[in-house]
Amino acid sequence: MIRRINLLPEELRPVNKRGFYFIAFSSTIVYIIVLCLITLNQGATVKTLRSRMETAQQRMTLPAQNAKYKEVIDKINLTDSKKKEMEKRISLVKTLSSGRILWSEYLYEIANITPYGVWMTGISSADEAKGDGKVKRIKINGMALSSGLISDFMSAVDSSPHFGSVALVSAQNTDYQGREAYSFEITFGSEGR
């Protein structure tokens, strides 16, 4: 094999560029790898710092949220106590009003079923025992222009859904402002039919 001999002075000899390219290429790759490793390390550091920051923010907001929740819970407890108090009052009112007659309804019904020519001179009520409970018995004193009107009035009271058990206690012929009239007294129950 023949060896190549270069007789040119060293200044004029061609430079071996292969070694230069290899060193440049290797250093570039090492530089890029180092940059990638630094970038990954910084990314991991930033991610860790962000998670720590979010945790710290959550810890700072928890007392504020707990205060809001406590306020809402206090309002709910206050509402529950008011509801229980109202339920007690409602049960007390129901207890007090059981067996009580709503006179406005009964008087309105009596006014609607009273025929023309009949008027009341008195009305009263009393409790009457019926089974385990009490029933209101209503007594009406009144005047009528004829005995037929008393019968019509009793029939209307008996057919009313609010009343029942009509009984004529008394009926007397009397004089009213120079005319013949009848005074009467009837009783009936408020239990309906």
pLDDT digits (tens, 9 = 90+) for 114-136: 899 899 899 888 877 677 767 77
Grouping H, G, I as helix, E, B as strand and the rest as coil, residue 3 is coil
Could you give the CA distance from residue 129 to residue 162 in angstroms, rounded to a whole number?
Answer: 18
pLDDT at 96: 75
Summarize pLDDT for 34-90 with one digit per residue, the tens: 999 999 999 999 999 999 988 887 777 767 677 778 888 888 999 999 999 999 998
Cα dist. 83→73, 77, 78, 89, 96 in Å?
15, 10, 9, 10, 20
Query: What are the strands, taking DSSP E only, across 52-132?
Result: 118-130
Domain boundary assignment for the chain: 17-98, 103-189
pLDDT at 193: 41
Q: What is the mean pLDDT of residues 2-20?
A: 73
Give me the percent of the chain exceeding a pLDDT of 70: 88
Q: Contact 133/98 with Cβ under 8 angstroms?
A: no
In words, the CATH class of domain 103-189 is alpha beta
pLDDT at 100: 61
Question: What are φ and ψ of residue 145, in 5° steps?
Answer: -80, -15
Tell me which residue has tokens 């930033």: 46
Query: Bigger pLDDT: 13 or 89?
Result: 89
Q: Name the pLDDT band for 159 (thresholds 50, 70, 90).
A: confident
pLDDT at 1: 56
Cα dist. 164→110, 155, 191 in Å?
12, 10, 6
The DSSP call for residue 167 is E
Evaluate if residue 113 carries a pLDDT over 80.
Answer: yes
Of 189, 190, 186, 191, nearest in space to 122 by CA: 186
